[in-house]
Structure 1
Amino acid sequence: MSRMTIVLLLLAHMCGAQTIKGKLFGEGVQGKEILPGGMVRWLGTDVATFANENGVFELPVSSIKDRRLIASNMGFVTDTIAVGDRTYVSITLRRDAKDLGTVTITDRSGARLSTTSVGQTEIINQRELSKAACCDLAGCFGTQASVQPQTTNIVTNAQELRILGLSGVYNQVLFDGLPMVYGLNYTYGISTYPGTLVNSIMVSKGTTSVLQGYESISGQINMESRQPDKTERLLLNGYMNSFGEKHANANLATAVGRNKKWHTMLSLHTVQPAGKVDGNNDGFLDLPLLTRYMALNKWRYGNEREKGLSLQGMVRVVSERRIGGQTGYAPAENEGSTSIYGQCVHYTQPEAYVKAGYRLSDDHAVSLAASGFAQQQRSWFGTTSYHARQQSGYLNLQHEWLWREKHLLKYGASYRYQELNEQIAFSDTFLHRTYAGRYDTRLRVPGLFAENTFHWKDEKYTLITGLRLDHHQQWGAYLTPRSMLKYVINDHHTLRASAGTGWRQVNLFAEQVNLLASSRDVVFAEALKPEQAMNWGVSHNYRFEAGDMTGAVTGDFYSTRFSNQFFPDYDSDPTRAIIRNFTGVSRSNALQVDASLTFFKQLEVRAAYNYLYVYRIENGGKNMLPFNPRNRAMAAVSYTTRNKHWQADANMHWFDRMRLPDTRNNPVEYRRPLYSVPYASYNVQLTYKWRTLDVYAGCENLLNYRQPDPIISATNPFGPYFDLSSVWGPTRGRELYVGVRYAIK
C-alpha cells in the first residue's frame, strides 16, 4: 500500500470523514464464502484497503469523484462495482476458471463449519466425499458425527439419516434446495443419489430457514448436485465390492448454444447385483440383490447474482429393484407363497424441477421454483402385497429485497401437493392380520412466509427471523416461527443460537416399512394428527492457527420437545403394532463436541463425541426411545503425501449400548435383550492419484463385527413372531472394495 493511501486513511479517520463499508465474498463450493484478504480500491486512485478475516472492509469517500470500486483477489475475476450513493455494499467475485491452483487449495478443506451461515451448517465437499467409497448419500457421512445412518429394513437394506437422535422423518432432505425426498420416496430415495453426482452436502442441525417449508424439526440435509458450468467435463467412476455388487457412474458436462450461455450435464448411474451371500448362516441374504438404473439431465443459464434472467432445470428418472430374504428366494416363483420367504421391491420414479430467477437490481430479485415427482411401486413382503403410487408437487414464489443497504427481506407464497395411494393385501389368512385395504394420504398445503436477515456492527451480529403460516386441508392453520442468531466475538470465536417450531404429516406405511415386513397386526387406535415439535439450540465455534497447524473446536447442544408425536407401539403386545398419537412428554437432548486439526496441509485429524438423551414419559416413568446410543464417538484421519499422489484415510465409529424394542412378552426362544452391547466399526481407504485418474481401494467394517441373530424367528419367517425391528448393528461383516475415477477438468 502506498504512502498516499496511508495518509488518506489517517486523515479520513481523524476528521470523521464519511466512509463506505462492505463485505467481500467469493464463489465457493457451497455457492458463497467470505473472502478475507481481498483488495478493494477506488477506480483511478491509490485509495485501497484489504478485507479483514471476516471479509469486512471500509474506505473513505472524501474527494472521490468516480464512485466505482475495484475488487480483486488471487484466483477470482476482478470486478468493477458502481456504488452510487450507497454507504454499504456486498461484493461477490466469480472464481477464475483458469486458476486451477486456487481450485485445488479450496478442495483441500474437507468437512468444515461454514463461516458465513447464521445457523450452524457443516459443509461436506467433494474432497471429503472422496475419503470413502460414497456409493450413495447414506455412505457420505463416515467422517462426521452429526448424521447417523440407520438401517430400517435389514432384508432390503433400507436406511434413514438420523439427526439429534431422532428418526430421519424429522429432518428435511433437500436436493438442490428443494424438498424431493419424502413420502413414498423416503424409504429408498436417499440411496438413489450416487456420490459422483453430489457437489457438496450441507448439514444443519436444529432450527433452519422457513423458506424451504415447515417440516424440518431436527435439522436439514441439502445435497447440492454438480453444476454444469463448474464441474468436470467428463467424470467416470467404477466400483466393485467383495460381495460382487458393482457400481458404474458417468457425468458429461458441456456448454451449448451460439454464445455458450447454456450449460448442460448428463449423469448416468447403475448398480448391478451382488452374489448370494449368507455370512452368518441364518438362511437370509446379508445384502439384497440390487439392480438400479438412473439418468439425470441438468441445465443452467445465467447467474442468479447478476442482473437479468437466470434458469436452472433438472429431469431425473430412476428404476430400481431389490430382492432380499432367504437364499433360495426367487420372485417369479415365490412371491406371496409360504414356501420360501422373501421381499421384492420394484419401483420407477421420474422427477423434475425448474428454478427461474430475475434480478431487477442489486437490491431486488424475484424467483420461482417448481418441482415434482411421481413414483409407482410394486412390492411383496413375505405374504404381504404392497402396491403404492404417489404424485407430489411443490411451488415457491419469492421476492427478495435488500433494504437499508445490508438487511435482506425474503417473502412469498408456497404450495405443497401430495396424492399417496397404497393398497395392502395378504395371500395368507393364518396370521389373522386385519389392516388389509386401501389407504389414501392427501396433502394440500398453501402457505405464506417471510424471513428477514439483519446485519449489524460490520457483520458482528447477524439475526434471521422468519414466520410461516400454512393451512393443512384437514387440520387447519399452523404457524411456524423460527429465528437464528450469530455473534462473531472476534476472529477466533463465534456463538450461534436458534429456536423455532416445525410440523409434518405422517405417511404411515411409506415411512414405517417394518410394519409391512413383520408378522405383527397393525391396530389403529385413533386417526394420526400431524407431528409438532419445538427445537432450540446453542453452539460455540473456536478457530485457531499455530504455525503450520490450523484447527477448530465446536460444541453444541440442541433440545427438541414434541407436543404431538407418533411412534408405533411395539411393546404392549408382541403380535401387534398399535398406532396412536402421543401428546405426553417427549424429549431429545443432544450434545456434540467436535475438534479438527490440519498439519502442514497434509495431515488432517478429526474427533467427535455425541451424547444423546432421548426419552418419553409414560406411565409415570421415563421410557428411553430405541436405537439411540447414550454415548457415541467418531475419529477420522487423512494423510496426503507432498506430491499429492497418495492419500490414506481411516475412520472409527464407536456406539454405546442402545435401548431395543421390548420382546419380554415373546416366547423365550424369540426374546432379545432389552439393550444392545457397545461396538465399534473401523473403515480404511487408500487412493493413488495421477493427473486425471484415481485408483482407490478400501475396507469397511475392518474387524468383521456382526450383530448376532439380527432377525427374530429367522427359522420360521411365516410364524407370528417374525420381526425385523431389533437390528442395531452391522449384519454383513467385512466388506472390501476397489474403484477407479477418471476426470477431465
Structure 2
Amino acid sequence: MNMLNSRSCRILMTAVIIGSANSQALAADDFTNWTADEIVITATRTENPVSKLPMAVEVITREQIAESGALNLADVLAEAEDVNALEPVNGRIGVAKLRGLDSSLTLVLIDGYRLQSGFQGYSDLREIPAGMIERIEIVRGSGSALYGSDAVGGVINVITRKPTKELHGGLSVSGGGSRYGEAGTVESDGWLSGSAGKLGYVVAGTYYNRDRYDRDKSDLMTDGDDRRIASGSASLTYDLTPGVKLTGGIVYADNSLDGIRTQTSGDFDRWVDSDRLLVHVGAEIKTGEESNLSLQVARSTYDWSSLMDNLNGVPVITSSTASGTTTTTATTTTTRTKVSQDYDQFDARWTGRFADHHRLTAGVEYRTEERTDSGSTVTTKVVTKTGAVNSGPTTMVTPDKTDSSHDVDNLGLYFQDEFTGLKPLSIIAGVRYDDHSDFGSEFSPKVAALLPISSHIKLRASYGEGFRAPSIYELCTGSLTTKKSIVQSNPNLEAETSQTFEIGSDYTNGRFKASVTAFRNEVRNMISQVQIGVDNGIPVNQYQNISRAMTRGIEINASMKLSSAISISDRVSFLDSEDMSTGKVLLYVPDIANVFRLDYLNGRLALKGNIRIITTGTQHVSDIEKISGYTLVNGYLSKRVARNTELFVGVDNLFNDDANAAYGNNEGSGAMGTYYYGGLNFKL
C-alpha cells in the first residue's frame, strides 16, 4: 500500500509535535464547543443529529468549502472521505465514486433532486460551482430504501444557500494560476439573504473563468480546457399560515469549455456548452403536534452540445503511391453532438409520531425522464491524383446523422420507522417499492441499529439492498463513435442489484473523536461494455449484464483538538475489490485513500489556516497494469484585516506531483501542477 510520502510525513510529524506542546496545559472544559453535532436530513429524510444515526455520514460545511479553495463540486469531493474521482470517462467530466463502486452507483442530488446526466450518461460535477453550495451531506452505504435507483454506494446531497431571518450578504473574489504561468483563473461569488415579514429570501451568483493549461507537451491536446461557468440560485419561503409554509427555488448554471483533442485521425478543436436548470416549488404543512406533510414538485432541464473540428480548419493530409500514381487525400471532419434531458418529479411525504416510540415516514415519488441525443458528422475529402491519365481534384462530402429519443417513468413508494422503544437501542427500518417503465419493479429494504454502550462508545450496524435501473443512454442511445470505440445500447438490460453489509463503532471523549467502519458491497448483474465485433478497425462494444462485483473496506476517522488554536484529523480508507466472475480486481479502485488535515485558528490574531494532505494508493488501470499512487499537499491561510473583510491565500499541490500522468487527461487532482491563488472575502 502507498502511504504518505516522506515530505508529507515530515509535515505530519511537525504538526503533531507542535500541537502536543501546546496542549499540555489544557483542561477538558476547553473543548465544550468542539463536538457540536450537525443536523442532517439526507440519511433519513428527517432531521437528525449525526451522533444519533447508525450510518456513516459526513457533512462538509460552507466554511470548509471556502477554506479548501475549491472552485466546483468535483474539487470539494476530492477531499471527502472514501470518495474517489478517478474513472475512465470521456469528455473531461468530473465524477464521484463512493467505496470503490462506479460513479453510476452513486446518487448525486441538488436540494434533494437528482442531478441530471449528460454526455454518455454521466453527471459532470465540475458544472456545479462551489460558490452556490451551503453544505454537502454524504451518506455512505445503500440508500435505495429511501431514494430508489442509483443510491447503491451512497447519496451525495448538495444543499444550496437558504434564507436567513436577519439580513446577511457576502462577496468573494479571487484569482490564481499555475507555476507554469497557465490556468489563469478569476472567480467571484456573491449572495444576499434575509426576510421581509412572512417572506424569506436568498439570491446568489457565481462566475469563474479559467484559462487552459497543458502540462504534457508531448502532443497538442490540452490537459485542461478554457472553462467558464456562470451560475445563479434563489430560494424563497413564505409563511402562508402558522401551519403552512410555501417554498420555491431555482438553480441555474451555464458551462462552456474550449480545448484541443488529439485523435487517431488528427488534432481537433472541441467546444462544449451546457445549460442546467432546476425549478422547484412546494409546501410544508403541519398536520399535528409532531407531524407534517411535505409536497414538492420539480422541473429540471439539461442541454449539452459539443462541436469538434479539424484544428484551425486545416485538413489532415495523407498520400499513397501505386503504379506510378500518387494519391493525396485532404480530409476535414466536423462532428456535432447534442444531448437534451428533461426531468419532472413529484414527491409527497408525511412524517409523524406514533405510540411515543415510533417516528414514521411514508412517501410517494413519481418522476419522468426524457432524453434526446442527436449527432452529425460531416467528412469532406479532396482527392488529388498525379501521374494518372485523368488527374485532378475530386471532392466528396459524407454526412452522417443520428437521432435517438426515449422516455421513462418511475413510481416509488417508501416507508420508514425510526424506533426507540428498546432504549438505549434505536432501530431504523425502511423499505421502498419502485416500478420502472423499462425494467420492471424492485423492492429495496434496509435496517440499521445504533447501540450506545457507554457515554463514550456506541456501536452501529446496517444491512441494505439497492438497485440501479439502466440509464436511457445504456438502454437506447449509445455512441456511434468515441475516441477508441463504438458503443451500442441494449434495450434488454436488467437492473443492477446490490447487498450492503456495514458495522462500525464511534468513540468520543472530550477533545478526541474516532470512528471505524467495516463494509462489504456485492453487486449483481453489473453492467459493462463487452466487445462484440470490429467496424473498420474500431472495436464495437455493447452494454451487457455480465458479472458480479464486490468491494469491501475499512474506514477509520479520527480528530483531536491539540490546543485552543490547533486541531488535527485523519480519514483513511482501505479498499479491496473483485470481479467475482473472473476473480480479478476492479479497475480504478485505490487500495488506500487518506485525507489528513491540520487546522489552525487564532481568534486574537484573526488568523486561520490549514494544511491538507490527500493520498491515493495504487490501483489497476487494466487487467495487467497496476500504477503507483500519489500524495498532494494543499494549504490555505486567511487574515481578517477589518471587521467585515478577510484576505486569503492558498496553494494546491505544493510539491508539484504529477498525479494525472497515469490516469489520463481528466483534469483531476494535480493535473495543472502547483497552483497558487489569493483573494478577499467581504461579509455584511
TM-score (norm. length: structure 1): 0.73
Number of the residue aligned with 1:614? 577
Number of the residue aligned with 1:529? 494
Match of residue 504, structure 1, among 455, 464, 468: 468
The reply to whether residue 348 of structure 1 matches residue 275 of structure 2 is yes
Q: How much does 1:280 deviate?
A: 3.9
Number of the residue aligned with 2:229? 292
Number of the residue aligned with 2:247? 312
The reply to whether residue 324 of structure 1 matches residue 259 of structure 2 is yes
- Residue 74 of structure 2 aligns to a residue whose secondary structure is helix
From the superposition, tell whether residues 345 and 708 of structure 1 become closer, same or farther in structure 2 (CA, over 3 Å).
closer
Aligned pairs for 1:237-386 within 5 A: 237-242=172-177, 243-256=183-196, 260-274=197-211, 277-278=214-215, 280-302=217-239, 308-326=243-261, 340-380=267-307, 384-386=335-337
Which has the higher relative contact order, 1 or 2, with Cα contacts under 8 A spaced 6 or more apart? 2
CA displacement, residues 276-299 of structure 1 (integer Å, 9 cap, x when unaligned): 545544322231111221121110
The reply to whether residue 557 of structure 1 matches residue 497 of structure 2 is no
Aligned pairs for 1:347-496 within 5 A: 347-380=274-307, 384-428=335-379, 437-458=402-423, 460-496=424-460
Q: How much does 1:538 deviate?
A: 1.2
Note the residue ranges of structure 2 that are not aligned, 5 or more in a row. Answer: 1-34, 178-182, 310-333, 382-397
RMSD of equivalent CA atoms: 3.5
- Residue 115 of structure 1 aligns to a residue whose secondary structure is helix
Assess if the C-alpha contact under 8 Å between 1:266 and 1:295 holds in 2.
Answer: yes
Number of the residue aligned with 1:124? 60
Assess if the C-alpha contact under 8 Å between 1:484 and 1:498 holds in 2.
Answer: yes
Assess if the C-alpha contact under 8 Å between 1:710 and 1:727 holds in 2.
Answer: no
Match of residue 588, structure 2, among 606, 622, 627: 627
**In structure 2, distance between residues paired with 1:129 and 1:463:** 33
**In structure 1, distance between residues paired with 2:400 and 2:530:** 16
- Residue 254 of structure 2 aligns to a residue whose secondary structure is strand
CA displacement, residues 86-112 of structure 1 (integer Å, 9 cap, x when unaligned): xxxxxx99xxxxxxxxxxxxxxxxxxx
**Structure 2 residue identity aligned to 1:369:** Q
Number of the residue aligned with 2:671? 731
**In structure 2, distance between residues paired with 1:193 and 1:468:** 29
Number of the residue aligned with 1:539? 504
Aligned pairs for 1:663-674 within 5 A: 674=625
- Residue 340 of structure 1 aligns to a residue whose secondary structure is strand
The reply to whether residue 702 of structure 1 matches residue 623 of structure 2 is no
**In structure 1, distance between residues paired with 2:86 and 2:474:** 16
From the superposition, tell whether residues 186 and 695 of structure 1 become closer, same or farther in structure 2 (CA, over 3 Å).
farther
**In structure 2, distance between residues paired with 1:398 and 1:693:** 43
Number of the residue aligned with 2:8? none
From the superposition, tell whether residues 575 and 565 of structure 1 become closer, same or farther in structure 2 (CA, over 3 Å).
same
- Residue 624 of structure 1 aligns to a residue whose secondary structure is coil
**Structure 2 residue identity aligned to 1:145:** E
Assess if the C-alpha contact under 8 Å between 1:274 and 1:289 holds in 2.
Answer: yes
From the superposition, tell whether residues 694 and 448 of structure 1 become closer, same or farther in structure 2 (CA, over 3 Å).
same
CA displacement, residues 363-421 of structure 1 (integer Å, 9 cap, x when unaligned): 33211112121122211356543211111011111222211123111112110110001
**In structure 2, distance between residues paired with 1:217 and 1:435:** 38
CA displacement, residues 107-150 of structure 1 (integer Å, 9 cap, x when unaligned): xxxxxx92133322112222322321121112224554222233
Q: How many residues align?
A: 597
Q: How much does 1:228 deviate?
A: 1.0
**Structure 2 residue identity aligned to 1:652:** I
Assess if the C-alpha contact under 8 Å between 1:288 and 1:323 holds in 2.
Answer: yes
**Structure 1 residue identity aligned to 2:115:** M
Assess if the C-alpha contact under 8 Å between 1:682 and 1:702 holds in 2.
Answer: yes
**In structure 2, distance between residues paired with 1:384 and 1:612:** 40
- Residue 55 of structure 2 aligns to a residue whose secondary structure is coil
Number of the residue aligned with 1:596? 559
The reply to whether residue 215 of structure 1 matches residue 123 of structure 2 is no
Number of the residue aligned with 1:139? 75
From the superposition, tell whether residues 452 and 182 of structure 1 become closer, same or farther in structure 2 (CA, over 3 Å).
farther
From the superposition, tell whether residues 577 and 466 of structure 1 become closer, same or farther in structure 2 (CA, over 3 Å).
farther
**In structure 2, distance between residues paired with 1:284 and 1:571:** 30
CA displacement, residues 244-293 of structure 1 (integer Å, 9 cap, x when unaligned): 1221111011323xxx1211111111122415545544322231111221
The percentage of aligned residue pairs carrying the same residue is: 16
Number of the residue aligned with 2:111? 176
**In structure 1, distance between residues paired with 2:52 and 2:599:** 26
**In structure 2, distance between residues paired with 1:509 and 1:476:** 18
The answer to which structure has the higher strand fraction is: 2
Assess if the C-alpha contact under 8 Å between 1:505 and 1:529 holds in 2.
Answer: yes
**In structure 2, distance between residues paired with 1:262 and 1:357:** 14
**In structure 2, distance between residues paired with 1:613 and 1:699:** 32
From the superposition, tell whether residues 319 and 634 of structure 1 become closer, same or farther in structure 2 (CA, over 3 Å).
closer
Q: How much does 1:31 deviate?
A: 5.8
